[in-house]
Amino acid sequence: MKEIPGDLKFMKSHEWARVEDDGTVTIGISDHAQGLLGDLVYVELPNVGDTLEVGAGCAVVESVKAASDVYAPVSGEVIKVNSALADSPETINEDAYGDGWIVVVKPSNLQEDMDNLLDPDAYAEQVDSEDE
Amino acid sequence: MSQQTVLNATHRALGAKMVDFGGWDMPISYGSQIEEHHAVRRDAGMFDVSHMTVVDLRGARTREFLRHLVANSVDKLKVAGKALYTCMLNAEGGVIDDLIVYYLDEEYFRLVVNAATRDKDLAWISAQAQAYGVSVTERPELAMIAVQGPNARAKVQSLLSPETAAKAAKIGKFVACEGDGLFIARTGYTGEDGYEIVVPQEQAVELWNRLQAAGVVPAGLGARDTLRLEAGMNLYGQDMDESVSPYEAALGWTVALDEGRDFIGRAVLEQQKAQGAPRQLVGVVMDDKGVLRHGQRVTSANGDGEILSGTFSPTLGKSIAFVRIPAGEPGQLQVDIRGKLVPLRVVKFPFVRDGKPCDGI
């Protein structure tokens, strides 16, 4: 498995969130999640301006095998979506923590939402126990 | 505890992701299932299909028995080695399984049936065979490897003895030959040319490794599913089962209503042929983005239906599916994807043949 960047925090359901220098939050799915899904063929994105609520569905990723909801790790307003994924959803397979990001939000309850997420070690531990 | 084929450790050593399929622990992919799909369409790929059940039928009245057992006519099988695709029906005309019958000699026919239906198939066939004095023998000691793709036959032939290679090169589509201890059939489930090779278990790993060394790419059940749906081929349990007649599964072409042959289920099929079956299977393409999946609701002019087999087609770059809807002119079909109705285009299938999209797709 790929090394997990230390500045990410995770939901149990495999989404990651990263607080950027400007206070926005970038959201994606983990490398482990893309591995479980297999080749991605379609990503349904929210619209810029949509309001996300923590724990609610904010995007859908579909592989040949399955469709999976992506849940928002933080509440906030969508300020950017990765529209390149429309033509090349496989970017998530190739670079889940980088070019495969899904949305950027302006968070509305940052501190509390981030505190509820798992740090990389705790997430890695969860993934390991799933594999057993 | 799921069953394992003799190639199980080989799959794991290749890093395959394993899943349960009809009670068998099988590789779904070894890496990217889309890459495996393209390898079969463009060059050559191989599948472990040892989970499928080989059943040998022997006895003087075997042909007569098969005339009664299956909906296609084994009287089309005149030359040794010739194969026939057919449905095996219950008395209500529902499909118990789809299978291939090979004619080997007048007292010896071979069936290859699905893994998931093994137990009920064997029970049904054995019960029907009694009256004909036909022996029914499963051959679990045989493994099976399907080698498929435009370069598949040449790659297989390069590994055979000169005599067997010559035989294998000569056989036409849907014909089998024997040699080097192998049963080599020019059949498949991908829409590409190639062979399905029945091999004694103890030789299977070596054959697999030699094929891989010859450049044949290991492919999993994931690629097998996208390939067969592009090729317009049904999957038992998804596209038809015991509640569905061949006419409702677009398998009318496999039904032979030849005169005087009293096969199981015939009365119901005659009736459906005369009056029309209540439901139909059509092929669809979705030009919008998204993926069609089994169980999604489909609206038509005559009422709702559902997606049977549905997938993303790697060759076409869009989603394709089989849909079962009420009989009659369907009008504009729409599929319900997460509450949104998306238009579908009804098309003739196969969707892809010999590596290329078919006309109108």
Per-residue pLDDT, A129:
87
- Check whether A34 has a pLDDT greater than 60: yes
Contacts of A42 in chain B (CB under 8 A): 289-291, 312
Asked if A107 and A56 touch (Cβ cutoff 8 Å), the reply is no
Distance from CA of residue B337 to its chain's centroid? Answer: 28
Measure A111 CA to nearest chain B CA, in Å: 32
Per-residue pLDDT of chain B (361 residues; tens, 9 = 90+): 689 999 999 999 999 999 999 899 999 999 999 999 999 999 999 999 999 999 999 999 999 999 999 999 999 999 999 999 999 999 999 999 999 999 999 999 999 999 999 999 999 999 999 999 999 999 999 999 999 999 999 999 999 999 999 999 999 999 999 999 999 999 999 999 999 999 999 999 999 999 999 999 999 999 999 999 999 999 999 999 999 999 999 999 999 999 999 999 999 999 999 999 999 999 999 999 999 999 999 999 999 999 999 999 999 999 999 999 999 999 999 999 999 999 999 999 999 988 899 988 8
Rounded Cα gap, residues B290 and B303, in angstroms: 23
Q: Which of B103, B144, B129, B99 is nearest to B117 (CA)?
A: B99
Contacts of B226 in chain A (CB under 8 A): 64
Per-residue pLDDT, A82:
98
Measure B37 CA to nearest chain A CA, in Å: 11
- Check whether A132 has a pLDDT greater than 70: no
Tell me whether residues A42 and B291 touch, CB distance under 8 A.
yes
Nearest by CB: B291 against A38, A41, A93: A41
The helix/strand/coil state of A98 is coil
Asked if B157 and B165 touch (Cβ cutoff 8 Å), the reply is yes
Tell me whether residues A39 and B290 touch, CB distance under 8 A.
no
Per-residue pLDDT, B22:
87
Measure B168 CA to nearest chain A CA, in Å: 35
Residue of B nearest to A88 (CA): B317
What's the pLDDT tens digit per position in A36-78?
A: 999 999 999 999 999 999 999 999 999 998 899 999 999 999 9
Per-residue pLDDT, A31:
96
Residue of B nearest to A39 (CA): B32
Choose the mutation target among B291, B319, B336 for the interface with A, i.e. most A CBs under 10 Å: B291
Residues of chain A whose beta carbon is less than 8 angstroms from a beta carbon of chain B are 38-39, 41-42, 44, 60, 62, 64-65, 67, 86, 93
Tell me whether residues B34 and A67 touch, CB distance under 8 A.
no
Pairing of strands B45-48, B217-218: parallel
- Check whether A130 has a pLDDT greater than 90: no
Q: Which of B52, B211, B70 is nearest to B116 (CA)?
A: B52
CATH code that applies to domain A9-110: 2.40.50.100
DSSP assignment string, A2-57: PPPPTT-EE-TTSEEEEE-TTS-EEEEE-HHHHHHH-SEEEEE---TTPEE-TTSE
Asked if B343 and B332 touch (Cβ cutoff 8 Å), the reply is yes
Residue of B nearest to A67 (CA): B291
Tell me whether residues A64 and B312 touch, CB distance under 8 A.
yes
Measure B121 CA to nearest chain A CA, in Å: 29
The amino acid occupying position B41 is R
Contacts of A65 in chain B (CB under 8 A): 28, 33, 222
Per-residue pLDDT, B148:
98
Per-residue pLDDT, B226:
98
Per-residue pLDDT, B1:
66
- Check whether A99 has a pLDDT greater than 60: yes
SS (H, E, C) chain B: CCECCCCHHHHHHCCCEEEEECCEEEEEECCCHHHHHHHHHHCCEEEECCCCEEEEEECCCHHHHHHHHECCCHHHCCCCCEEEEEEEECCCCCEEEEEEEEEEECCEEEEEECCCCHHHHHHHHHHHHHHHCCEEEECCCEEEEEEECCCHHHHHHCCCCHHHHHHHHHCCCCEEEEECCEEEECCCCCCCCEEEEEEEHHHHHHHHHHHHHCCCEECCHHHHHHHHHHCCCCCECCCECCCCCHHHHCCHHHCCCCCCCCCCCHHHHHHHHHHCCCEEEEEEEECCCCCCCCCCEEEECCEEEEEEEEEEECCCCEEEEEEEEECCCCCCEEEEECCEEEEEEEECCCCEECCEECCCC
Domain ranges of chain A: 9-110
Pairing of strands B53-58, B45-48: unpaired
Measure A62 CA to nearest chain B CA, in Å: 7
Contacts of B29 in chain A (CB under 8 A): 38
Tokens 């992701």: give the residue: B17
Query: Could you report the predicted ipTM of this complex, rounded to two decimals?
Result: 0.83
Tell me whether residues B222 and A67 touch, CB distance under 8 A.
no
Nearest by CB: A39 against B34, B289, B338: B34
Rounded Cα gap, residues B293 and B319, in angstroms: 9
Residue of B nearest to A66 (CA): B293
Nearest by CB: A64 against B17, B289, B311: B311
Nearest by CB: A42 against B29, B33, B289: B289
Measure B276 CA to nearest chain A CA, in Å: 35
Rounded Cα gap, residues B292 and A124, in angstroms: 33
Per-residue pLDDT, B72:
98
